[in-house]
Amino acid sequence: MYTGTLKSKSSGLKSVYRNTSLKCSGLLFLWTLNRKSSRKSSVVRRRGADGRIPVRTLDRGASSSAAAAEPTGYPGGPYDTSLLVKYEHHVARHIWFGEERGPKKELKVAGHGLKLNSRVPLALPPQMESWVSRSGLASLQRTSLNKIDTNLVSAFVERWHLETSSFHMPFGEMSITLYDVACLLHLPIRGIFWSPQDVTEELAVELAVDYLGVSQSQAQSHVRSCKGSYYKLEWLYDIFVHHRAASSWAYATRAYLLMLVGSTIFADKTFTLVEARYLLLFRDLDGCSGYSWGAVALVTLYRYLGDASMYSCKQLGGYPTLLHCWIHEYFPTVGKRGENWNPAGNCGLPRAMRWSYRQGVLKVDDLRPILDELTPTDVIWRPFEDHRAWRVFDEICLYRGCLKWGETVVPYLPDRCLRQFGYRQYVPSPPLDCMMATDIDVDWISYHQSVVDVIGSSSVATTPSEVVDGLSGVVLSCFPSTADPSPS
């Protein structure tokens, strides 16, 4: 991907990202080398006139004259831009030149945990509890962290690439998988996707009247104040409280569920609103359990991670608790962690409830070199092995294809993070172009063949971080090494 030094002009901090591009059987695989394997390499790399390291072939180590004569790509980033097509706008490219997002290097994160935890009652009325439990969303009532370590989350976002739906770490790629969602949030993975209808402000008013039990004038006034087809989370909470007191259980349950998902898996960058169209999900309270809520959480978070990895973006939407707790599970030495209970003492609760917020002292600048120094031994590759009694592994989590929710479509590529599933990592296929996908629902239902394709070329790993031969020692770096090549 990129080999070089990310330099902050404001602090003078240097954070070295060493990566390599490996071409195998015509497939381009972005693979990162840790410092130790880089030092062991016997390949002598010489800079060209532009400060970059020319491409070398696998058989002779000879420089490619064409590549040396006509360098392409970006300083500090990939020569071959056919894979990471958005790298021009990626925050990592700008950090290379000492350009930060703004005075604050960390993102603004939509964390609703503290407020949501104050709004969720200790117990729901039995009439509501039945609907909430059957919806598949009940676990979201208790999984949110009170606060988010924005510096920790932001440091990981800088390593996310939307083309591969993965974090590019110094030792390879990792991602948040469907099984991670199943264990952390206890949301159902299997189910259908949803294609919503457009909701105008007028329809948002009608939906509020019909399904939330408010008056026409009240709905009109509220939607008008939202300046679009939205409802305020606080307003939904007030409706829930009112109808619960009046024993209007269906209205109360819809308002409660919409507030719940709007504060968690549907959280957007407004920080206070939820789209009115999501009320359509709860028209039939007996039928809303059929959705793949786990895929919903992942699609939404992938989307916002992709947005936040761009230099121009300064906010992160989606469910940050999911990302935050994922980091705690896989990276025990990174960030400050508060632990409510040991996994061995779990009584079937969602694993996100294991963690509590502890204020971190490290800033983004401090975390960049820490992440860069991580090795495979610093990772707990399969953190949920002791959770299988509560969430049995489902092979659909190895589905390779596109996931969608509404008009948002993202690639889901477990072949790029096989070590998280207990398999040896191989050179994966090129990422999918979801813009060309036409039968996503069919592919999702008939997932079996894609699972066979994903694991058929691999084998069960004998060590947690095992990779196929040749991935951890090849140096084909096309990018600057450890310092800005510009003359001092």
What pLDDT is recorded for position 45?
Answer: 35
What pLDDT is recorded for position 103?
Answer: 92
Mean pLDDT, consecutive 10-residue stretches, the chain (488 aa), reads 36 33 35 37 36 37 40 66 86 90 93 94 96 98 96 97 94 96 98 90 98 98 97 98 98 99 96 96 95 97 98 96 98 94 83 94 95 95 94 97 95 97 94 89 95 95 86 36 34
> Per DSSP, what are the bridge partners of residue 410?
403
> Per DSSP, what are the bridge partners of residue 108?
315
Element (H, E) at 219: helix 216-226
Give the whole-angstrom CA distance, residue 223 versus residue 229.
Answer: 7
What pLDDT is recorded for position 403?
Answer: 98
Give the whole-angstrom CA distance, residue 169 versus residue 159.
Answer: 7
Q: How many residues are there in the chain?
A: 488
CA separation (Å) from 153 to 115, 116, 144, 307, 474?
20, 20, 15, 14, 31
Q: CB of 66 within 8 A of CB of 76? A: no
* pTM of the complete model: 0.84
Residue-wise DSSP of 302-359: HHHHHHHTBTT--EE-S-HHHHHHHHHHH-TTSS-EEESS-GGG--S--GGGGEEE--
**79-85 — which CB contacts under 8 Å span 24+ positions?**
79/21, 79/52, 79/55, 79/478, 79/479, 80/21, 80/28, 80/478, 82/28, 83/28, 83/30, 83/163, 83/164, 83/430, 83/431, 84/1, 84/30, 84/161, 84/163, 84/164, 85/163
Give the whole-angstrom CA distance, residue 218 versus residue 110.
Answer: 27
| Residue ranges of domains in the chain | 196-287
What pLDDT is recorded for position 175?
Answer: 98
How many of the other CB atoms lie within 10 Å of CB of 329? Answer: 21
How many of the other CB atoms lie within 10 Å of CB of 482? Answer: 13
